Chains A and B, each alone.
Chain A
Amino acid sequence: MNKGFVLSFEAALTLILFSLILLSVPQPKTESFTELIILQQENDLLKIWSKDYSPLEMIKDIKTNFTNASLFIDEIQLVNGNITKNSIASEGVLLDLILIEHKVRIVVYY
C-alpha cells in the first residue's frame, strides 16, 4: 500500500454515521398559547356583539383587531381574509333589535 491518507470502509462508515447523527438531531419545538389567545378574543367579540347587534361595528372590530380574519353573517362573507395554513373559527347566534337570529362566524388566520 502506498503511503498517504487512506480511508478504510470502517472510517467511511463512521463518517456517514456521524453525519446522519448530526442531521437527525431533533429541533426543540416552541410552545405558545396563540390558539387560546385568538379563541378568547373571538369569544370576547361575540359576547360584546351579542349586547349590541351592529354589522358595521362588527366589520370595524374585525379589521381593527385582527390582521387576517374573515367575518360571516348568515353565511354571507363581510370581511375577506387570506386563507392560510392555520385558522381558528368561532361561531355564535346573535339576536338583532327585532329579535331575529343571525349566525355570526369569525375565522382568524395565523
Chain B
Amino acid sequence: MHITNKGFVFTTDLIFTIMILLVMLLVFVIFINNHVNFFVQQEKNTYLEEKTIFTADSFVKNYNENNTMLGACNVDDSRKRILNNEINSLNFLKIKQLELNDFFIKKIIVKNIFEKTIFESSTQSKNCFSIKRFVLIDNIKSEITFLGCLYE
C-alpha cells in the first residue's frame, strides 16, 4: 500500500489479501454452522441411543412391579434375588409406556420359535434406534429387540 499526497493506493496484493480474508471468514462461518448442526444432531442421537440401551438393560436386569418396561425379570423370593436375563412372560402384561418428555419405546419384539410383538406404541417417529438383547423367556432362549424413538 502506498501513501501518496492524494491518499491510499491499494495494490493488487492488498486487494488479494482482503479477498482471502473475506473467504476465510466465510469458510469459518460455514464451518461453525456445520459443526453446531452436527453436534446438535449428535447430541440427539446419543440421547436416543443411551435411553434405548438403558431401558433395554433395565428390562433384562431388573424387576419393577408397577411397570415391567423397567424390569421384567423373575424374582427368587427365597434368596431375595432378581434373576437377571430370566424373564417371565406374564410380566409382559404389565408393560406400560415410559413417562419421559421426549423419548418413548415404539416397539418390543420377542423372537424365539415364534416372533411376537409384545408392546407397540401408535405414536409415529422417524428418529428411532434399536437394540437386541438375549434372554431366557420362560426358560426358552429368546432374542428381544427394543425400538426406542424420539417424539417429533
* Residues of B32-55 whose CB lies within 8 A of A: 35, 38-39, 42, 46, 49-50, 53
Please report whether the interface of chain A is mostly helix, strand, loop or mixed according to DSSP: helix
Report the count of interface residues on B (CB-CB < 8 A).
33
Please report whether the interface of chain B is mostly helix, strand, loop or mixed according to DSSP: helix
Contact among A6, A7, A36, A65 for B134, CB-based, below 8 A: A65
Number of A-B contacts (CB under 8 A): 65
A-contact bits for B80-100, CB 8 A (1 contact / 0 none)? 000011100000000000000
Q: How close is A65's CB to chain B, nearest CB, in angstroms?
A: 7
Report the count of interface residues on A (CB-CB < 8 A).
29
Chain A residues near B134: list those with CB within 8 A: 41, 44-45, 48, 61, 65
Nearest first, the 9 closest Cβ-Cβ pairs linking A and B are: A44-B134, A47-B85, A8-B13, A11-B13, A33-B49, A14-B17, A28-B38, A11-B16, A14-B20
